[in-house]
Amino acid sequence: MKHDQIPAERRALLRLALALGAATAVHMIAADPAGTPTRPGGEPPAPAAGPPARVQAGPGSYRLRPMTSGTPPRFRPAPPPVRTRPFEELPGLGSDAMVLSFDDGPDPRYTPDILATLRRYDVRAMFFVCGEMAADNRDLLREMSDDGHVVGNHSWSHPLIPGLPRGAVRDELGSTSEVIEKTLGAPPLWYRAPYGAWNRHSFEIGAALGMEPMAWTVDTLDWTTPGTDTIVRRVEEGAAPGVVVLSHDAGGNRSQSVAALRRYLPALLERGYRPTVPRRT
């Protein structure tokens, strides 16, 4: 998101969203082979997981088509069904796999350091970007894609989705997908509702745009700036096969998130975990 979060406001919104996000496992998700890292030194991993801003929406025709006809076939899996719950964990990725995800960016103050750490350990992650941030930082969007990370849709301005009319939800998701597609050449295949607050409109519109809904299993609560040690502890204690870890690379001071990643990522690799990204089949 473009502006730093106000903690009290965010806590209130999160309370409203608590009952709206849960998970289900679906069989069409697999680990992306390109997301299989090696250990530092080349060894293989051990076997074993505010009010919304005005939306500058693109042409309405984009938001009415589930996929882009000109996109190469490898970027056009079958359109997903309309879900009633988001994915929260991905147990089908393997007994040693887990997913790291980062929300709200890209932010030139913090995203480059996160990308550098992931690159150092040859690890792929998911980045759920806000359209207003992506539009201003397309170079970072390209860097994410070039490094093999999954770029997902996190709405345009980070609003509380259940409070919006259907047309506004379509604008928030559609305009963000358009920025991603125009920048990277392919539309996003995943989206995450701000605050984890989903509703029927978001599931229906997300599916119409060709996206699957992704929540999380382990919330680092890094947006509360609890301290680097606390973020590291939450990730290491929550690590398990198939879990999805939620962190942030924008929306406030994310220096603790950057520092924490530098510590917990090599620790996870040492424990035999294989941070990876899902692919659609």
What is the rounded CA–CA span in Å between residue 246 and residue 244? Answer: 7
Is-contact 97 274, C-beta < 8 A?
yes
Integer Cα distance of 97 and 30 in angstroms = 11
Q: In the chain, what is the straight-line distance between the N-terminal and C-terminal CA atoms, in Å?
A: 30
Active site residues: 103, 248
Query: Strand, helix or coil at 40?
Result: coil
Name the percent of the chain in helix, strand, coil, to the closest 5: 40, 15, 45
CA angle 281, 191, 248 (to 5 degrees): 120
Neighbours of 120 (CB within 10 A): 12
